[in-house]
Amino acid sequence: MIARYSLFAGLALGALATPAIAQDYGTSYDAPPPGGADPQLAEEPLDGPAPSTRGPASVRTEIQPYIEIDQVAFTGSNGQSDVVTYTTVAAGVDARISERHAQAGISARYERLITYDDDTADSDYLTGLAAGSVQLARGVSVDAGALAARSRVNAGGAAPSNLVGNPDNISQLYSVYAGPTVGIQTGGVTVGGAYRFGYTRVEDEGIDPGAGVVPFDESTSHSVSASVGQQPGGALPIGWAVGGGYDREDGGALDNRFEDAYGRVDVTVPVSPTVAVVGGAGYENIRISERDAVRDANGVPIIDDVGRLVVDRSSPRLLSYEQDGFIWDVGVLWRPSRRTSLEARVGQRYGSESFTGSFSWQPNERTSVGIAVYDSVTGYGSLLRDRLAGLPTDFTAYSNPLTGDVGSCAFGSRAGTCFDDVLQSASGASFRSRGVTASYATDMAGWKTGLALGYNRRTFLTADEGAQAFIDGTSDRNYFANAFVSKDLDALSSVTANLYANYYDPGFTLGEVFAIGANAGYNRSIWRGLDATAALGVDYYDTQNIDFDSDEFTASALLGLRYSF
């Protein structure tokens, strides 16, 4: 009888212990994104442990720091028809650590842009992605992650599709998270808990004060969750779990505050060796508030020199959103093997119907397929924290060979994470985020390939009487497609190519943007540690702005040298 339920080990905790394949987009019950139990403990069938979702089991450590100098030429950007050239000097590190009790992936780069004309300013920026996990004891680990990127700030401002040069409405974004995860089995019962601290900041430089969402500033966030449960086939023929947690984010644009407290009970009822009915119910209280902006004599909110609203710290808190009451969902879970899992749920949450689901398939150790349907109410900083928490430590970060920026999607052997919707508009308001993302990644026969498609809709939640009242209840939409390919031609040379397409509609103002582009790079080793690089890129975007309509084609090229230590 127990063998029949072996593939459902830990599924009673599935709604509380977010699986990595869906964690970054929301799960069947996405309120406790860090998860309650150690996935490796919670998903251990009778025929041996399931593969870890954080990274590969092989032991190896590769750390490769480098310095680089490039010469870049481009035309068409910022309305210019002449060819513009500049030089970049960069230093970075690519690292992969896979030890018995520690896994980490790091791809980080600092770059200084040196220009030769008055239209393009000198600048420096940091881009990179990192994920790590250290196992302190059996079932006890500390996880961390970080993102540094250049993000479009204002949805109603400029919309560059190519970040060569120093385009308008682009600012530096930083986000980090860290915290412990505990998952312990005792007497057939799994006890789990997790805490996540997150910090996110968008720098002041580059903000376009055009019409749009109030730009995000900085925030701190906290998420704590705990659960206890038992898998099917233990003391009972069904699986069960009881859990809850608390999330809070402070910051944003107008001293925003997001709070979410929840508790629920979940059950897993196997109906065959590979199919189970799942469901849960509980209570949740969400409250979002903000302060008003300082206003002039005519009641118009005051904006500072960098395009941000000036917060009135003496004003009372204004209620932006409140939802308090019963939540529930039911669904089906299909797990024919440890490498394949499908879950779909429907329920009531956030005052309306809610649909979530996930599909993961790993046909072999070098190929992964994932689909996630998500629905969550969150803030900008919390969303970034949860995306980073879903990033696998064995990720491959594809970078733009012309700018060095890390691509908007990263892929691992068993999971992937995309940041497209996050980087389209750094919103200072909380929102309800709904959408779907699909990813495919493979590393076979010398080819590394990644493909991601997605749709996201954010409905903004602001106070009716506040400075952001004009966007309350409005929604923006983002569609994206990204493809990445790399190939080692021989022992000394390799090629890479990136393609993307994106459509963004801010919803509340004219500012629709369609962008499409491609770039390719060739790398050749010419001496010990010294590589030469050549790259070409073409980009096109069409925008309908409140102040102007424009379309633009940009072509760019790069020649560079990199020395790896």
Residue 194's DSSP bridge partners are 181, 225
Spatial contact of 30 and 264, defined as CB atoms under 8 Å apart:
no
The residues, ordered by sequence, that sit 6+ positions from 448 with a Cβ below 8 Å of its Cβ are: 396, 442, 484, 485, 486, 487
The secondary structure element, H or E, covering residue 261 is: strand 256-270
DSSP per-residue codes, 457-476: EEEEE--TTSTTGGGTT-EE
The pLDDT, as a whole number, for residue 29 is 29
Identify the sign of the CA torsion 507, 512, 514, 515.
negative
8/467 Cα distance (integer angstroms): 50
pLDDT in tens, 528-546: 899 999 999 998 888 776 5
In the prediction, which pLDDT does 341 show? Answer: 94
pLDDT digits (tens, 9 = 90+) for 88-106: 999 999 999 988 899 999 9
Instruction: State the pLDDT at residue 48.
Output: 32
Residue 54, both tokens: 């954080």
| Whole-number Å distance between alpha carbons of 124 and 406 | 15
Give yes or no for a contact between 224 and 195, defined as CB atoms under 8 angstroms apart: yes
CA-based R_g, the chain, Å: 24
Locate 228 and state its tokens. Answer: 């206890």
Nearest in space to 415 (alpha carbons), one of 40, 55, 18, 15: 55
The sheet carrying 416-418 orders its strands as 396-399, 406-411, 416-418
Residues linked to residue 256 through DSSP beta bridges, in sequence order = 251
**Dihedral, CA of residue 421, residue 360, residue 452 and residue 70, to nearest 10:** 90
Give dist(CA 335, CA 342) in Å, integer: 6
Q: How far is CA 68 from CA 88, 129, 171, in A?
A: 8, 19, 23
What number of CA atoms fall less than 13 Å from residue 452's CA on the CB side?
27
Answer whether 95's CB lies under 8 Å from 411's CB. no
8 A C-beta contact, residue 353 and residue 346: yes
**Which residues of the chain are modeled with pLDDT < 50?**
1-53, 56-57, 79, 157-158, 209, 211
